[in-house]
A and B are shown apart, each in its own frame.
Chain A
Amino acid sequence: MSRVRDRTEDYKDSVRVAALSHGYTESQLAALMSSFIIRKPSPRSPFTNAAVKTLESIRELEKFIVKHRKDYVDMHRTTEQERDTIEHEVGVFVKACKEQIDILKNRIHEDERNKRAKTWLGTSDENSRLDLIAHQHGVVLILSERLHSVTAQFDRLRSMRFQEAINRAMPRKKFKKKPETKLAETPKSNLVLQSDVSKSGDQEVSTAPLRVQEQLLDDETRALQVELSNLLDTVQETETKMIEMSALNHLMSTHVLQQAQQIQYLYDQAVEATNNVERGNKELSQAIQRNSSSRTFLLLFFFVLTFSVLFLDWYKN
Chain B
Amino acid sequence: MALSLRKKQLDLITRMLHLNQQQSSPDGGGDGEEEAYKILVMDGPCISLLSPVLRVGDLRKHGVTLHLNIDKARQQVPDAPAVYLVRPTPANADRIAADAAAGLYASFHINFSTSVPRPVLERLASATAASRSAHRVARVADQYLDFTCLEDGLFSLAQPRAYVSLNDPAAADADITAVVDAIALGLFCVASTLGTVPIIRCARGGPAEMVAAALDARLRDHLLAKPNLFTEAASSAASSFQRPVLCLFDRNFELSVGIQHDWSYRPLVHDVLSLKLNKLKLPTEKYDLDDSDPFWVANSWLEFPEVAKEIEAQLAKYKQDVDEVNQRTGGGRDGVEFDGTDLIGNTKHLMNAVNSLPELTDRKKMIDKHTNIATALLARIKERSLDGYYRCENDMLENGTVDRSMLLSLLSGKGTKEDKLRLAVTYLLSFEAPPPSELEQVEAALRESDVDMSAFLYVKRIKSLNTQFAAASSTASRSNIVDWAEKLYGQSISAVTNYLSDGRQLALTRTVEALMEGKPNPEVDNYILFDPRAPRSGTGGQFRGPFREAIVFMIGGGNYIEYRSLIELGQRSQPSKHVIYGATEILNGVEFIQQLAELGQKAGLGSGGSNLPSQ
On A, residues with C-beta under 8 Å from B are 1-8, 10-11, 14-15, 17-19, 21-22, 24, 32, 35-36, 39-45, 47-48, 51-52, 55-56, 59, 62-63, 66, 127-132, 134-135, 137-139, 141-142, 145, 166, 170, 237, 240-241, 244, 247-248, 251-252, 255
CA–CA, A315 and B381, complex, Å: 78
Q: Which residues of B contact A45 (CB under 8 A)?
A: 78-79
Cβ of B122 < 8 Å from any Cβ of A? yes
Q: Which residues of B contact A43 (CB under 8 A)?
A: 79
Q: Establish whether residues A131 and B12, one from each chain, have CB atoms under 8 Å apart when the complex forms.
A: no
- Given contact pairs A39-B138, A142-B63, a sample of 8 additional A-B residue pairs in the complex whose CB atoms are under 8 Å apart: A4-B142, A7-B142, A17-B125, A43-B79, A48-B37, A55-B33, A55-B36, A237-B340
A150: min CB distance to chain B, Å: 12
Q: Which residues of B contact A51 (CB under 8 A)?
A: 36-37
Count: A-B pairs, CB below 8 Å = 167
Mark interface residues in B95-117 (1 if CB within 8 Å of A CB, else 0). Answer: 00000000000110001100110
On B, residues with C-beta under 8 Å from A are 8, 12, 15-16, 20, 26-27, 30, 33-34, 36-37, 39, 60-61, 63-66, 68, 74-80, 106-107, 111-112, 115-116, 118, 121-122, 124-126, 128-130, 134-135, 137-144, 192-193, 195, 229, 232-233, 340, 343-344, 347-348, 350-351, 354-355
B59: min CB distance to chain A, Å: 10
CA–CA, A127 and B519, complex, Å: 67
- From A5, A22, A56, give the contact of B126 (CB < 8 A): A22
Q: Establish whether residues A44 and B79, one from each chain, have CB atoms under 8 Å apart when the complex forms.
A: yes
- From A2, A36, A39, A135, give the contact of B66 (CB < 8 A): A135
Q: For the complex of A and B, list the 6 residue pairs with the smallest distance between their C-beta atoms, beginning with the closest.
A: A138-B65, A14-B125, A18-B126, A131-B75, A35-B135, A18-B129
Q: Establish whether residues A14 and B347, one from each chain, have CB atoms under 8 Å apart when the complex forms.
A: no
CA–CA, A134 and B56, complex, Å: 14
CA–CA, A145 and B126, complex, Å: 42
Q: Output the nearest chain B residue to A48 by Cβ-Cβ distance.
A: B79
Q: Which residues of A contact B348 (CB under 8 A)?
A: 166
Q: Establish whether residues B140 and A4, one from each chain, have CB atoms under 8 Å apart when the complex forms.
A: no
Q: Which residues of A contact B347 (CB under 8 A)?
A: 244, 247-248
A71: min CB distance to chain B, Å: 18
Q: Establish whether residues B351 and A248, one from each chain, have CB atoms under 8 Å apart when the complex forms.
A: yes
Q: Which residues of B contact A145 (CB under 8 A)?
A: 60-61
Q: Establish whether residues B63 and A5, one from each chain, have CB atoms under 8 Å apart when the complex forms.
A: no
Could you list 24 A-B pairs, sorted by A, with CB under 8 Å?
A: A3-B195, A3-B229, A6-B139, A6-B140, A7-B116, A10-B121, A11-B137, A17-B122, A36-B135, A40-B135, A52-B33, A52-B34, A52-B36, A62-B26, A128-B76, A129-B75, A130-B75, A131-B77, A138-B60, A166-B344, A237-B340, A244-B347, A248-B350, A248-B351
Q: Establish whether residues B37 and A142, one from each chain, have CB atoms under 8 Å apart when the complex forms.
A: yes
- From A2, A14, A130, give the contact of B121 (CB < 8 A): A14
Q: Which residues of A contact B121 (CB under 8 A)?
A: 7, 10-11, 14
Q: Which residues of B contact A48 (CB under 8 A)?
A: 37, 79-80
Q: Establish whether residues A4 and B78, one from each chain, have CB atoms under 8 Å apart when the complex forms.
A: no
Q: Output the nearest chain A residue to B131 by Cβ-Cβ distance.
A: A22
Q: Which residues of A contact B229 (CB under 8 A)?
A: 2-5
Q: Establish whether residues B129 and A42, one from each chain, have CB atoms under 8 Å apart when the complex forms.
A: no
A293: min CB distance to chain B, Å: 43
Q: Establish whether residues A59 and B30, one from each chain, have CB atoms under 8 Å apart when the complex forms.
A: yes
Q: Establish whether residues A131 and B66, one from each chain, have CB atoms under 8 Å apart when the complex forms.
A: yes
Q: Which residues of A contact B115 (CB under 8 A)?
A: 5
Q: Establish whether residues A5 and B142, one from each chain, have CB atoms under 8 Å apart when the complex forms.
A: yes
B391: min CB distance to chain A, Å: 47
CA–CA, A237 and B141, complex, Å: 68
Q: Which residues of B contact A252 (CB under 8 A)?
A: 354
Q: Establish whether residues A6 and B141, one from each chain, have CB atoms under 8 Å apart when the complex forms.
A: yes
CA–CA, A132 and B64, complex, Å: 13
A86: min CB distance to chain B, Å: 19
Q: Establish whether residues B195 and A241, one from each chain, have CB atoms under 8 Å apart when the complex forms.
A: no
Q: Establish whether residues A138 and B37, one from each chain, have CB atoms under 8 Å apart when the complex forms.
A: yes
B186: min CB distance to chain A, Å: 15
Q: Which residues of B contact A66 (CB under 8 A)?
A: 26
